[in-house]
Amino acid sequence: MNTKIYKAIKGILKRNRDCKTNEIDYENAKVILKNDKEAILLDVRSPQEYKEGHLECSINIPLYDLSKMSENTIKNKECTIVVYCQSGNRSKKAIDILSSQGYESLYNIKGGLDNI
């Protein structure tokens, strides 16, 4: 997919996402991750949950460690971060934490793994 098409899709997503929680569905998350090589897929479940199964290419920072580990693990605050958990509740909280730390391009996979 060329850059113009990707930017158009990203613009549509920004306009159509839930502005309060930055929620997108899994299909749109895959588009972002496929076309933005700098994007990060972040799993905020516990290490045990992550070990039991996770989305390919995701990194695991549990929600309870996110505020102290995010800046050391994700240094670029302008990169796109797609966050998920099991049901979408922890990932919504993660979006709030990351936003308060200055991360700019944040998306939550609506409904988490339960919705995929």
Return averaged pLDDT per consecutive 10 residues of the chain, 116 residues in all. 65 54 92 96 98 98 97 96 98 97 97 96
- 85 among known catalytic residues: yes
Could you say which of 19, 57, 79, 85 is catalytic? 85
Q: Indicate the pTM of the whole model.
A: 0.83
HEC string of 42-54?
EECCCHHHHHHCC
pLDDT of residue 19: 47
Please tell me the CATH code under which domain 3-115 is placed.
3.40.250.10
pLDDT of residue 18: 46
Q: Are 116 and 54 in contact (CB under 8 A)?
A: no
Domain ranges in the chain are: 3-115
What does residue 42 show for φ and ψ, rounded to 5 degrees? -115, 120
Q: Is the dihedral of CA 31, 35, 36, 40 positive or negative?
A: positive
pLDDT of residue 5: 67
pLDDT of residue 41: 98
Q: Are 77 and 104 in contact (CB under 8 A)?
A: yes
Please count the CA atoms within 13 angstroms of the CA of 104 that sit on its side-chain side. Answer: 5
